[in-house]
Amino acid sequence: MILLSTILLLFVAAFFVWALRHYLTATPLRGWMLALFPAGSFGLLLWQTLELGDSAETLSIPWIPTLDLSLSLYFDPLAALFGMLITGIGTLIIIYTGYYFANDKSAWRFLSYLFLFMGSMLGLVLAGDVITLFIFWEATSITSFLLVAYKYKDEAARRGAFKALFITGGGGIALLAGLLFVSNIVGSTEYATILNSGDLLRNSEIYLVVLSLVAFGAFTKSAQFPAHIWLPDAMSAPTPASAFLHSATMVKAGIYMMARLNPALGETEAWFWLLSIAGLTTMVVGAYLGTKQNDLKALLAYSTISQLGILMMLIGQDTEIAFKALIIGIVAHALYKSSLFMSVGIIDHETGTRLLSRLGGLRRAMPITFVIVVIAALSLGGLPPLFGFLAKETLLATAVHPSLPLLMTWLFAVAIVIAAAFKLVQAGLLTIDVFTGKPRDPAIHAHEAPKGMLFAPAVPALLSLALGILPEPKQLAEFFGEAAAASYGAPVKVSFALWTGLSIPVALSAVAIASGMLLFWQRQRLITWQRQLDGWSFNQLYAAVLATIDKGARAATRIQTGKLRFYLATFLLAMLGLVALTSGSAWTLPTGQGGTSGLHMQFDIIRLLALVAIVGGAVATVVIKRDFFAVLALSATGLGVAVYMIVEPAPDVALVQIVVDILATVILVLAIGRLPLRLRETAQKLRTGIQWPTLLIAVTGGFLVTWISYSALASRPRPSLVTPFYRANAKILTGASDIVGAIIVDFRALDTLVEIGVFSLAGLGVYTLLRFAAIKHADHGQAIDAQTPLAPHPLQTLGIGGFRVSPYIRAMGDILLPVALVIGSIHVLYGHDQPGDGFTAGVIIGLAIGFKYVVFGFQETRRRLWWLRPNILIAIGISIAIVSGAATTIMTGSFLSPVDYGEMLSLPLPTGVKLSSGFLYEIAIALSVLGSVGLMLDTLGRPAVDVDLLAEPPAPENRGN
Amino acid sequence: MFAAPTLNLWVITPLIILTVWAIILMFIDLFIPAGKKQWTGWLTLVGLIPALALTLMQWGQTGGAFIAEGGQPMVVVDNFATFLNTLYLLTGILAVFISVSYIRDAGLERGEYYFLMLFSIVGMMLMGMANDLILIFLALELLSIPLYILSGFDTGSDTSEESALKYFLLGAFSSAFFLFGIALTYGATGTTSLPVILDTISLDDPLALAALGMLLVGFAFKVGAVPFHMWTPDVYEGAPTSVVAFMSIGAKVAGFAALMRVLGQGFPMWGELWQPAIVVISALTMIVGNFAAVRQQNIKRMLAYSGIANAGYILIGVAASATDPEAISASLYYMLAYLFTNIGAFAVVIAVEKLDGQKGLLVEDYKGLAKRHLLLSLALAYFMFSLVGIPLTGGFTAKFYVFGAGVTAGLYWLVVIGAITSVVSAFYYLRPVLYAFMYEGPAVARVSRGLMFVLVVAVFATLVFGIFPGPWYELASQATFGNVATFVAGG
């Protein structure tokens, strides 16, 4: 719990800053006071470290017990080392921030972000399982985003912040994926288990995938080449943030992660090569690029990159000395780099610039800063007697370790010497060029910073010195050794002795120092030469990634043309692909054998004619340009299908097909009749001829469907299961001798109920959309016959559109409705025993009404059919169905089950007529269908004459992109 | 009477309540004067809340009703259905709160809006409860037709009408394939009842495989999976925003409900065969959805692509369920978390949208929002974080579960694609947030009380799912088919 409290303390601090933002004065005192939080956290960690036994301390809070997930902490010397670096340097940073933002009351925001970051960072290193780690990992990405974008009005700050967030946050997700794989292989998300399952992981077949994902996450976070590009841009953060994030903490997260996972994932060839090459490249590139920077912060940023490369490379090794070098390198870098960052911040603060070209001769004005920078920079340059020297020595010792292949030894040694030489140049630039000589810019009037502000960078600088020259503190060395051992997986001995006798590393070190001095002496030439080589940077890679995303986005949106035709084609193609994918392998040529029913190859003249009607109608629908004729052709197709069904024989289905086909035609004709003529003409002109690609897709689709249907018929594995069942049971169970009637009303009563609901909704939909559109267009149902008739147009069919029709047809219109009512009643009454049912009844009556609309026009029809209230018919219909269903429930315990009321009450009914629940249901169906049809007709029959619309060009089809 | 007529009326009680209330509401609406139609809206809750209460009481119970041939019920209630029904009803309730002020201000206030929504919810619920392909088809239509109408509810607006027409035509097209799939299934097995299909299907029947392909087309369309997604951006952009908020969750979840039940109960033994199809669709959906979203300037279109992308993530769980039926719990949980995040995001969009002439819908229109509406902007940021999948949000835990399910099922590359596309998604999700917080601009918003309620609920729920996902995931894992023995008639 103490461990948890070290993290919580920092989050409490963030809250504290926010809560007291109006009361905390903008004086340095604010920083000193707030520094108590991280200091307290540091103290607790120190105490815990001293208490720490041989094994790691863990704490687990169950989170999702079902998945065996918990939020855990894992505390061992490695975590302790990082934790103390974070809180220790954090304390100094907070003090420093107090001075940096003195007189800025709004800086509470910065302080609170800083605490949030610190808490997340501490959480990251103390995390004991994959999920906790990931949560804190992303939290550091987000909080560092806030810190970098603190000066958000500055475009550069926004860009830099987004770049950092994108690269590190994205890497975090890759890391999560990798760690999920790890957990999956190991069977647990806990470190304690993962770290002991190294062999399992290394032998896993997806080891390389895991390794790449984890390494990708770590490399992005720790600014490894070529993902390093975010770090220099993140320098737009206020200096305290840079000093903290980019020296000791955030960029070390990837290092920590890899060091932590070394026992589990490391010690393989792939691990060695991946980390060595990445680290080596990063080290050289960082050192090289840092030297040519003019901005001191950028210089420090590149030197950080270089150091991160060194550390990453060290983790890749499989030798004891490497991990000794790793721990020393981490600590040395954290000390001198934070000190240098803070000093640069002071210089910037006191002179108003941090450009090398403007600075110089600050030694007189800022003596203390000078001393601090000298110490830290010498450590950076790897000169004795500072801690940085030791770091470089051990590094070189690693490079010449006999276990390495000779080629690698050479490569390492040369690279390290080059990098070390460049670093020495950087150290020189930081000290000699900035502090000695004459001021380059006379406008700059420097003065020394307040003593308190100097305290913060002085502490780590002095520690760099102390660790180098003081007699070896035994406990500390042991602690470092334990931390290294936690990462190495075997004991590591650490000593701080600077001089270990004349050896190859010392010799190499001397070469490095000598060449560094040489380079520094010739620095003008070097930097000029370097700047001439400019022009290519890895920012282009980032830009390329962004461009790829943009290209991908373009490609992904290109198919989104907004054109329906195109969507349909894609749809069809995708359907073909999908069907091929699911069933492609299983198809064999249908042989017609094995099927029980076989394929009936009957062909007679009726079937042939029907076929001609179906195919011809379908083709004509596509080819014909005039809309009315196309609709009629479509209708012919439907009727052709109906003929087939009659021949089959399936009279019920055929009946439904016929009435629905006619109804659809009537509705389409009415709908088209409402459209403004000019719009229709334009649309017809737009109907182009056959387009070959479209035709190809259509033919392929048709062929596939035909193929499937053919094999469906040819190799049907068994005859219908249901027909015999219904044939046997319909009469007994439901009292119906028409199977289809029985299915609709009894066996599948629920389907039917939903279906009439859907049908009613469709009617309601037509009504809602068209009526309200009409009202919006200020059309109050004014009849067309009341207006001046438009000039006759060849496209208009007779009978609608306000033309007077012949008396013969008017008489038909009058007769048809009563006849339809009679037929409908018969369908309802005898639906149980013969073709026809409530649905056909409703549609047939509806058709007669539709005929009236066509013949008489809207107003007269409304006058004649004043009793027709479609809404009420629908409501009564559905209500009867539900009430009747509920009644049968009460009586038989089954919803919509058959009950014969006529028999129960022994009513004297004519033969064949039954007053049963089925009968009531038929009535319900008929009424709601009639209501829905009536609603559509009423809406569509209403003329929508809007003169304005006639003049309007066709609405553009889309705005898709 | 035939075939075990024990009726479990309680199985469909929530449906009956909603249907009857919708019909009653049609009549009540006639007496509500034109300016006061918000009452119809609030009265919708009178149906939704009891239905929700009853649905919650059905948790843990299993039963069926309407025994069809083959002795299997056509409608079943199990934890799977109950879990999803709860989702629809919650969506419906939140959608009412979103809609009331929105449709009034947009000049669309008509009573039909609400009972169409109720009918659509009935259809959605039936999608998850249907145990029979024909009933699934009917449910699909019942849920879709009201949505077609609602999409075109802004009559007179070209975009809204275009949206409705496209949705309708493509929807009808996909329905045709779905029907063909049912017919082929029937041809191969002689039945449309899922449990009977399971019993009778022969393993290498190409006919049944083709049928499965056709059925998948219908579902893929409904959930907006690539390459059947193309209607989504156009429809989302054109339809009234409150309708989009409703259907972007309801219709999608319903599509998944039926997909999961058909695959999980009708064709589970074919996992090896349909898994590749789902994997391909899932990968395409994540890639196309996320990449296309990057370029969107209109926030509704962006959220449309985001919806597509999220369908891809949900499909990971479905793909994983081919080998482990329990894996759909990840997808179920995902949908639960997505519900709140997404409706919250749409609530923000509605708050910023200006109803005079479709303004305030560009991502750029969010510039400077935080200056005037800090809390709203924070809510926006939180929802967007959740959609990216950043920890401490429901979106993170949801992604975590589906990725976890994918890893367990060995779908490594699918998970990697999921991870990479999540990174890409940060691009477009964070843009409105950046604009709101870091740029100067004139963005203003109006937060009605209804919206406020939805925002608070959504933030709270997303937070709870982000921090305490355990119990909710537990519920989701009880809702998988593995925990439901069989649907014995009357059981």
Q: Are residues B233 and B275 in the same domain?
A: no
Distance of CA A591 to the CA centre of its chain: 48
**pLDDT tens, residue by residue, A400-449:** 777 777 777 888 888 888 888 888 888 888 777 777 777 777 777 777 77
Using 50, 70 and 90 to split pLDDT, how confident is the model at B34? confident
- Please give the model's pTM, rounded to 2 decimal places: 0.82
Among A7-16, A501-510, A530-539, name the most confident range.
Answer: A7-16
Rounded Cα gap, residues A914 and A567, in angstroms: 51
Integer Cα distance of B267 and B249 in angstroms: 26
User: In this predicted structure, what is the pLDDT of residue B386?
Assistant: 94
Q: How far apart are CA B180 and CA A184, in angstroms?
A: 41
| B464-475 mean pLDDT | 88
- pLDDT higher than threshold 90 for residue B51: yes
pLDDT classification of A715: cutoffs 50, 70, 90: low
pLDDT at site A720: 58
The model's pLDDT over A728-780, given as tens digits with 9 standing for 90+, comes to: 776 666 666 677 777 777 777 777 888 888 888 888 888 877 777 666 654 44
**Bridge partners (DSSP) listed for residue B367:** none
Give the number of other CB atoms < 10 A from CB of residue A766.
20
Distance CA B72, CA B194 (A): 9
Q: Which residue has the higher pLDDT, A616 or A540?
A: A616
- Percent of chain B surpassing pLDDT 70: 95
The answer to whether residues B162 and B296 belong to one domain is no
pLDDT digits (tens, 9 = 90+) for B284-326: 999 989 988 888 889 999 999 999 999 999 999 999 998 888 8
Q: What is the pLDDT of residue B127?
A: 92
Task: Decide if pLDDT at B258 tops 70.
Answer: yes
CB contact under 8 A, A955 and B134: no
Kindly report the nearest CA distance between residue A480 and chain B, in angstroms.
33
pLDDT for the residue numbered B37 = 84
Model confidence at A717, pLDDT cuts 50, 70, 90, reads: low
Nearest chain B Cα distance for residue A507, angstroms: 47
H runs (alpha helix) in A352-386? 367-381
**Structural domain ending residue among the three candidates B266, B283, B314:** B266
Query: Which of A174, A708, A751 shows the shortest C-beta gap to B210?
Result: A708
Same domain, B119 and B261: yes
Domain boundary among B214, B238, B266: B266
pLDDT in tens, A750-763: 778 888 888 888 88
Instruction: State pLDDT tens for residues A104-150.
Output: 777 888 888 888 888 988 988 888 888 888 888 888 888 888 888 88
Angstrom distance (rounded) from CA B179 to CA B198: 19
Across A303-317, A666-680, B451-465, which has the greatest mean pLDDT? B451-465
SS (H, E, C) A595-620: CCCCCCCCCCHHHHHHHHHHHHHHHH
Burial code (b: 16+ CB inside 10 Å, e: under 16) for A165-193 equals bbbbbbbbbbbbbbbbbbbbbbebbbbee
Beta bridge partners of A295: A355
The residue among A70, A129, A131, A583 with the most chain B CBs within 10 A of its CB, best to mutate, is A583
Q: Give the pair of three-digit tokens for residue B244.
A: 């989009």
Does residue B177 sit in the same domain as residue B79? yes
Average pLDDT over residues A320-339: 85
Average pLDDT, chain A: 78
Asked whether the predicted pLDDT for residue A938 surpasses 90, the reply is no
Query: Residue B268 gets which letter from DSSP?
Result: G
Residues A522-531: tens digit of each pLDDT: 777 777 776 7
Residues B274, B261 share a domain: no
Q: Which residues, including other chains, have CB under 8 Å from residue B259's CB and lie 6 or more apart? A: B216, B219, B223, B318
pLDDT at B341 exceeding the cut of 90:
yes
Residue of B384, B386, B389 lying closest to B423 (CA atoms): B389
pLDDT of residue A745: 72
Length of chain A, in residues: 961
The number of residues in chain B equals 491
The answer on pLDDT for A152 being more than 80 is no
Check B295 against A65: CB less than 8 A apart.
no
Per the listing, tokens 């059919």 go with: A865
pLDDT at residue A602, rounded to an integer: 63
Cβ distance B6 to A550 less than 8 Å, yes or no, reads: no
How confident is the model over B429-438, as pLDDT tens digits?
Answer: 988 988 888 8
Per the CB < 8 A criterion, the answer to whether A674 and A940 are in contact is yes
Contact A422, A412 (CB under 8 A): no
List beta partners, residue B130. B75
Q: Are residues B277 and B327 in the same domain?
A: yes
In a domain, B203, yes or no: yes
* pLDDT recorded at residue A278: 87
* Res. A37 pLDDT band, cuts 50 70 90: confident
A355 secondary structure, DSSP code: B
> Residue B486: its pLDDT value, please?
43
* Residue B164 and residue B185 share a domain: yes
Taking 70 as the threshold, does the pLDDT of residue A646 lie above it? Answer: yes
Write the DSSP string, A652-705: HHHHHHHHHHHHHHHHHHHHHHHS-HHHHHHHHHH--S--HHHHHHHHHHHHHH
Q: How many CB atoms lie within 10 A of CB A724?
A: 10
| Farthest CA pair distance, chain B | 74
The string of DSSP letters for A186-253 reads HT--BHHHHTT-HHHHHTSTTHHHHHHHHHHHHHHHTT-TTGGGHHHHGGGS-HHHHHIIIIISTTHH
Looking at residue A535, what is its pLDDT?
A: 52
pLDDT at B377: 92
Q: What is the pLDDT of residues A871-906, one digit of tens each?
A: 888 888 888 888 887 787 777 766 666 777 777 777
Confidence grade of residue B282 (pLDDT, cut at 50, 70, 90): very high
In the prediction, which pLDDT does A66 show?
Answer: 61
Strand partners for A900: A916
pLDDT tens-digit series, residues A569-616:
888 888 888 777 776 665 554 444 444 444 555 667 888 888 889 999
CB contact set of A565 (below 8 Å; sequence gap of 6+): A694
**A-proximal residues of B, 2-61, CB under 8 Å:** 2, 5-7, 9, 12, 16, 19-20, 23, 26-27
Q: Is residue B284 part of a domain?
A: yes
Nearest to B388 by CA among B362, B356, B418: B418
pLDDT digits over A363-380, tens only?
777 888 888 888 888 888
Q: What percent of chain A has a predicted confidence (pLDDT) above 70?
A: 85
Provide the pLDDT for residue B308: 93
The pLDDT value recorded for residue B245 is: 94
> What pLDDT, on the 0 to 100 scale, is given for residue A790?
47
The per-residue pLDDT for B266 is: 84
Q: Which of B266, B283, B309 is the last residue of a domain?
A: B266
Of A857, A632, A656, whose CA–CA distance to A743 is shortest?
Answer: A656
Which residues in B lie closer than 8 A to residue A552 (C-beta atoms)? 287, 291, 294, 424
pLDDT of A948: 37
Residues B185 and B310 grouped into a single domain: no
pLDDT mean over B184-198:
83
Q: Rounded CA gap, B444 and B352, in Å?
A: 6
Sign of the Cα torsion A318, A322, A324, A326 reads: negative
In this model, does residue A961 exceed pLDDT 60?
no
Question: Taking every pair of C-alpha atoms in chain A, what is the biggest distance, in angstroms?
Answer: 125
How many domains in chain B? Answer: 2
Residue A949 contacts B, CB cutoff 8 Å? no
In a domain, B1, yes or no: no
SS3 B468: coil
For residue B214, the chain A residue with the least C-alpha distance is A579
For chain A, say whether B408 makes contact (Cβ under 8 Å): yes
Question: In whole angstroms, what is the distance from residue B251 CA to residue B142 CA?
Answer: 11
**What pLDDT is attached to residue A251?**
84
Domain boundaries, given as residue ranges, for chain A: 295-521, 592-673, 733-949
- How does residue A65 score in pLDDT terms, banded at 50, 70 and 90? low
Q: Mind giving me the DSSP string for A864-931?
A: HTTT--HHHHHHHHHHHHHHHHHHHHHHHSSTT---BHHHHTT----TT---BHHHHHHHHHHHHHHH
- At residue A275, the pLDDT reads 87
By C-alpha distance, which of A108, A110, A111, A172 is closest to A140? A172
Q: What are the CA-CA distances from residue A299 to residues A283, A287, A428, A440, B440 (Å)?
A: 14, 9, 12, 19, 33
- pLDDT band, very low/low/confident/very high, at A539 (cuts 50, 70, 90): low
Other beta carbons within 10 Å of B139? 26
Instruction: Identify the CA nearest to A38 among candidates A108, A136, A142, A111.
Output: A111
Evaluate if residue A648 carries a pLDDT over 80: no
Cα A485–chain centre separation: 40
Exposure class string for A536-547: b at 16+ Cβ within 10 A, else e:
eeeeeebeeeee
Q: Is B404 on the interface with A (CB under 8 A)?
A: yes
Alpha carbons A77 and A125: distance in angstroms, whole number:
11
Return residues 750-769 of A near B (CB < 8 Å): 750-751, 754-755, 757-758, 761-762, 764-765, 768-769
What confidence tens digit (pLDDT) does each residue in A379-397 have? 887 777 778 778 777 877 7
Residue B376 lies in domain: 270-484
* Mean pLDDT to the nearest integer, B355-384: 86
Mean pLDDT of A473-477: 78
The pLDDT value recorded for residue B97 is 94
Residue range A48-54: mean pLDDT, rounded? 79
Query: A946 pLDDT band (50/70/90 cuts)?
Result: very low
Assigned domain for B491 exists: no
Mean pLDDT (chain B) is: 86
Domain presence at residue B56: yes
**Judgement on whether residues B294 and B440 belong to the same structural domain of the protein:** yes
Kindly state whether residues B290 and B217 are assigned to the same domain: no
Could you tell me which residues come within 8 angstroms of residue A504 by beta carbon, excluding any fewer than 6 positions away?
A396, A400
Which residue in A390, A396, A384, A124 sits closest to A283, CA to CA?
A396
Q: Where are the alpha helices (DSSP H) in A675-794?
A: 677-686, 692-714, 722-734, 739-742, 749-776
pLDDT band, residue A787 (cuts 50/70/90): very low
What is the pairing mode between strands B73-77 and A69-75? unpaired
The pLDDT tens digits for B126-184 are 998 998 898 999 999 999 999 998 998 887 777 888 888 889 988 988 898 899 889 88
| Residue A71 falls in which region: left (phi positive, over 0), alpha (psi -120 to 50) or beta | beta
Phi and psi at A333, nearest 5°, equal: -65, -45
| pLDDT value at residue B379 | 95
**Looking at chain B, which residue has its C-alpha nearest residue A132?**
B391
Min Cα–Cα distance to chain B from A212, Å: 11
Q: How many C-beta atoms lie closer than 10 Å to residue A524's C-beta?
A: 8
Chain B, 116-145: which have a CB under 8 Å from a chain A CB?
Answer: 116, 119, 122, 126, 134-135, 138-139, 141-142, 145
Residue A690 has pLDDT above 60, yes or no: yes
Which of the residue ranges A168-172, A640-644, B206-210 has the most confident prediction, judged by mean pLDDT? A640-644
Residue A352, CA atoms < 13 Å, CB-side half-sphere: 6
Q: Write the burial class of residue B7 (CB in 10 Å: 0-12 exposed, 13-18 middle, 19+ buried).
A: buried
- Whether B35 and B117 map to the same domain: the answer is yes
